[in-house]
């Protein structure tokens, strides 16, 4: 029944927002009209974020094409995002322009479990290998998280809601512009008694999260400006540790995440050449307690970036740059203190050419010099053709990916393997976007394939605790379809569908031909929102996910995760221009499901609150 429903949903597939912004920044790291982008990019805008009332960024991403997510715990638990069947460690994540993947985590992965929506205003998801622009990590794609742009004059927003399991969610932000300065501050607080991390257990595992963000821009002149940005997360989680029997119901984890950006922007030659020089810094401190004793990881990444954009004529844009990156890894626990660091120097160049009206061609090359593995060269190219001013876009792209083993995978004293090889990928896709009925309908389809060699995998049977090895090859292929409809101004219907076939293709491997773990082949999401004449807004989202497979950590055997369908409903009502009440019910039909074997998930839960704006 689920598969039949998903097949029907494929006919209705759509993007998260009908009126997507026409400017994309993730494809090249600079602003581009969507009609010039040859890669598949989905935008989740501020209106969609507010309407959906989601708490976790992962829940928003799960409604976009090509995305699969798994959460090994309740809210706050380790959460990974897979793009087009890639490993969750192959997703590059940016927060306000800073790469935030954790050098001390498994595979440099970014844990989305502690990234709550808070004051985030925009998310761009680029699918497909894109190491030319972003270097190591972007094999599956890029998730670009952005907080709000400071308002003209002054603006302030605040909201608070309360609900199931004594859950409190509050956030506030202020922003404004005065003279040469513009900026904003935001803070968000979330706490809950939670549910048990172990599926079927009655003992609750609580969670608390505090996040803050800040921006300041100083425009000294039309040509010179300074950007300062910061983001901070503190999170405390009670959890159940059962990687090894017996189950530990007293385990805890604490995270402090710091993100900083300082950039100088200079325009020369009447604006034909723009320069950006920036220093970025991110740090993740993770501390754990368990029956095995306390232990902790610290990962720091210091980066210097220079980016130049030269546009000699309207039809040609050149993007070039240099980056120096120093990831550091630090582990303390179980009588061990291990440290490691590497240096990466990179240069890249990309050309965007518009030879004839409606056609945009993009191509580039990157060279990374890695202190552990030497050099790696990656190429990428894409094209976008619109014969009718953007109503139809025909896209095609080719991208190469490169990802060095993480410091954890190389040097962890228990599961590390210093003999690992870097991962390499080649990604292809072709698709089109079509606007219909005066832009009241938007339809998109993209077919893709990615071949990866030397993919790094955890082998539970390797060594005393398991360990990391290189698989020979993997392949992911599939299709993403999307359609959005706004038949009248009051009604918006959106959905997404994707088929992802991700398999081990290593010749001679006992797993050859088997699906990769936690990657359901079919997934679909359908949303509808209606604004009634008297101001009430009501909406619903249905998310459907096919069967997938996982590993039972106690037996090292493959187990099936059954498919599921989740229904959420929501409503909001403006009391006046400054005050609004809202509420939602998640998992309306109390569906039992799992995205990671053995871990609990929320049943039916209701929340309500108020929102103010000035």
Intra-chain end-to-end CA distance of the chain, in Å: 48
d(CA 269, CA 223): 10
**DSSP three-state, residue 10:** helix
pLDDT category of residue 462 using cuts at 50, 70 and 90: low
| Whether the predicted pLDDT of 525 surpasses 90 | yes
pLDDT at res. 7: 38
Mean pLDDT of 375-393: 95
pLDDT at res. 12: 35
| Whether the predicted pLDDT of 4 surpasses 70 | no
pLDDT at res. 2: 37
pLDDT at res. 183: 96
pLDDT at res. 416: 85
pLDDT at res. 19: 42
Task: Convert the pLDDT of each residue in 282-311 to its tens digit.
Answer: 999 999 998 888 999 999 999 999 999 999
d(CA 475, CA 515): 10
pLDDT at res. 472: 84
pLDDT at res. 16: 40
| Whether the predicted pLDDT of 5 surpasses 60 | no
Give the residue among 485, 564, 562, 549 at the shortest CA–CA distance from 518: 549
pLDDT at res. 247: 62
As beta bridge partners, residue 251 has: 239
pLDDT category of residue 242 using cuts at 50, 70 and 90: low
As beta bridge partners, residue 126 has: 41, 142
d(CA 58, CA 70): 9
d(CA 142, CA 95): 11
pLDDT at res. 250: 79
pLDDT at res. 246: 45
Sign of CA dihedral 405, 408, 409, 413: positive
Look over the chain and give the mean of its residue pLDDT values, rounded to a whole number: 91
As beta bridge partners, residue 141 has: 91, 127
Task: Convert the pLDDT of each residue in 552-598 to its tens digit.
Answer: 877 778 999 999 999 999 999 999 999 999 999 999 999 999 999 98
Strand-pair category, 548-552 with 491-504: unpaired
Burial 449-484 (b: 16+ CB within 10 A, else e): bbbbbbbbbeebeeeeebbbbbbebbbbbbbbbbbb
How many percent of the chain have pLDDT more than 90? Answer: 78
Mean pLDDT of 486-508: 95
pTM of the model: 0.93
d(CA 483, CA 548): 26
Task: Convert the pLDDT of each residue in 243-260 to its tens digit.
Answer: 554 466 778 999 999 999
Contact in structure between 22 and 37 (CB atoms under 8 Å) = no
Task: Convert the pLDDT of each residue in 25-81 to its tens digit.
Answer: 999 999 999 999 999 999 999 999 999 999 999 999 999 999 999 988 678 889 999
345 vs 509, higher pLDDT: 345
Please state the length of the chain: 614
d(CA 105, CA 109): 6
pLDDT at res. 471: 85
pLDDT at res. 6: 35
Q: What is the helix (H) or strand (E) element at residue 52, kind and residue range?
A: helix 46-52
Burial of 507 (0-12, 13-18, 19+ CB in 10 A): exposed
pLDDT category of residue 14 using cuts at 50, 70 and 90: very low
Task: Convert the pLDDT of each residue in 133-152 to its tens digit.
Answer: 999 889 999 999 999 989 88
Task: Convert the pLDDT of each residue in 186-231 to its tens digit.
Answer: 999 999 999 988 887 778 889 999 999 999 999 999 999 999 999 9
**Residue 162 main-chain phi, psi, to 5 deg:** -145, 150
| Whether the predicted pLDDT of 276 surpasses 80 | yes
pLDDT at res. 248: 63
Q: What is the helix (H) or strand (E) element at residue 486, kind and residue range?
A: strand 473-488
pLDDT at res. 605: 97
């Amino acid at each position: 029944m689920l598969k039949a429903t998903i097949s029907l949903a494929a006919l209705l597939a759509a993007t998260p927002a009908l009126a997507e912004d026409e400017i994309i920044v993730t494809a090249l790291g600079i602003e581009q009209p969507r009609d010039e982008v040859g890669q598949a990019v989905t935008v989740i805008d501020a209106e969609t974020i507010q309407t959906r009332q989601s708490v976790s960024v992962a829940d928003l991403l799960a409604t976009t094409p090509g995305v699969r997510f798994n959460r090994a715990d309740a809210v706050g638990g380790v959460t990974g995002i897979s793009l087009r069947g890639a490993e969750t460690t192959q997703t590059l994540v940016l927060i306000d322009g800073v790469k935030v993947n954790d050098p001390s985590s498994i595979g440099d992965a970014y844990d989305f479990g502690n990234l709550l929506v808070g004051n985030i205003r925009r998310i761009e998801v680029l699918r497909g290998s894109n190491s030319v622009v972003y270097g190591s990590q972007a094999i599956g794609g890029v998730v670009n998280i952005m907080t709000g742009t400071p308002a003209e004059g002054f603006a302030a927003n605040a909201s608070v809601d309360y609900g199931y399991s004594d859950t409190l969610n509050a956030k506030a932000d202020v922003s404004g512009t005065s003279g040469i300065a513009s900026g904003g501050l935001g803070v968000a607080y979330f706490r809950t008694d939670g549910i048990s991390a172990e599926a079927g257990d009655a003992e609750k595992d609580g969670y608390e999260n505090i996040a803050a963000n800040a921006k300041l821009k100083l425009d000294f002149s039309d040509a010179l400006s300074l950007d300062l940005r910061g983001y901070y997360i503190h999170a405390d989680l009670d959890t159940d540790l059962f990687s090894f029997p017996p189950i530990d119901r007293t385990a805890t984890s604490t995270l402090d995440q710091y993100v900083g950006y300082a950039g100088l922007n200079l325009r020369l030659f009447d604006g034909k050449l723009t320069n950006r020089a920036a220093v970025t810094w991110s740090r993740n401190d993770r501390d754990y307690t368990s029956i095995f004793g306390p232990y902790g990881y610290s990962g720091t990444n210091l980066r210097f970036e220079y980016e130049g954009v030269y546009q000699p004529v309207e039809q040609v844009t050149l993007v070039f740059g240099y980056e120096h990156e120093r990831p550091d890894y630090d582990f303390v626990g179980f009588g061990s203190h291990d440290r490691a660091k590497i240096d990466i120097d990179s240069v890249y160049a990309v050309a965007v050419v518009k030879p004839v009206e409606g056609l945009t061609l993009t191509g580039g090359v990157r060279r990374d010099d890695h202190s552990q593995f030497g050099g790696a060269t990656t190429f990428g190219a894409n094209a976008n053709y619109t014969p009718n001013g953007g109503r139809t876009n025909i896209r095609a792209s080719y991208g190469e990916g490169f990802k060095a083993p993480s410091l954890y995978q190389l040097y962890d004293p228990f599961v590390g393997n210093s003999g690992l090889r870097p991962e390499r990928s080649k990604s292809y896709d072709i698709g089109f976007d079509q606007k219909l009925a005066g832009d009241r309908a938007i339809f998109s389809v993209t077919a893709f394939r990615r071949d990866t060699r030397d993919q790094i995998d955890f082998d539970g049977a390797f060594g005393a605790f398991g360990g990391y090895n290189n698989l020979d090859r993997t392949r992911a292929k599939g299709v993403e379809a999307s359609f959005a409809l706004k038949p009248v101004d009051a009604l918006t219907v959106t959905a997404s569908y994707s088929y992802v076939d991700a398999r081990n293709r290593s010749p001679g491997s006992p797993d050859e031909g088997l699906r990769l773990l936690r990657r359901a082949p079919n997934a679909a999401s359908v949303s509808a929102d209606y604004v009634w004449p008297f101001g009430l807004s009501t909406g619903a989202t249905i998310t459907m996910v096919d069967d997938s497979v996982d590993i039972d950590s106690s037996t090292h055997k493959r187990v099936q995760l059954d498919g599921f369908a989740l229904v959420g409903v929501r409503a909001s009502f403006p009391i006046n221009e400054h005050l609004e009440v809202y509420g939602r019910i998640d998992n309306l039909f109390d569906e039992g499901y799992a995205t990671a074997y053995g871990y609990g998930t929320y049943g039916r839960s209701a929340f309500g609150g108020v929102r103010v704006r000035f």
